[in-house]
Structure 1
Amino acid sequence: MEITIRVKPGSRKGPLVEETPDDPAASLTVFVRERAVDGAANTGVVAAVAAHYGVPRRDVEIVRGTTSRLKRVRVDGA
């Protein structure tokens, strides 16, 4: 399954995944503590999404938007 997510790096709320039905651009908002430096936030996003869906981190892949706050993510096995 592929989903679009909005990432909030450097958040004190993180790691947290919230469903956002009122956001037309993204179905989930992912709050991570890691800053958007050297891919640290992307690693946190993968871990948070994997925990949210109950799948291993290897089954979560960022398909598009590695340098953007709006990302397209593929989750296998969910």
Structure 2
Amino acid sequence: MKKIMVMAVIAASMAGCSSIETAESMPNPDQRVVDSRLNISTDLNATYCEGKGFEKYMEREKYYTFTCKDGAFFNIAK
């Protein structure tokens, strides 16, 4: 579960709300992993940012902080 959350954080920070085009731009992507990361990122965006997207991401000692484009923020434990 921890690995999935780390992948989600990486996907969210790199892909934000982008489409599957991210997978196409990666060299030799494992499509299942990319799809899973994008689904997690999309779910986080929809749940916490009301679909507006992420503005920034910060890694802290015990959790990750995401800031939405509207200024709202949320934390996910590591």
TM-score per shorter chain, which class? 0.3 to 0.5
Question: Which fold has the larger relative contact order, with Cα–Cα distance below 8 Å and residues 6 or more apart in sequence?
Answer: 1
The structure that is helix-richer by fraction is 2
Give the alignment's TM-score, normalised by structure 1.
Answer: 0.33
Q: Name which one, 1 or 2, has greater alpha-carbon Rg.
A: 2
Give the alignment's TM-score, normalised by structure 2.
Answer: 0.33
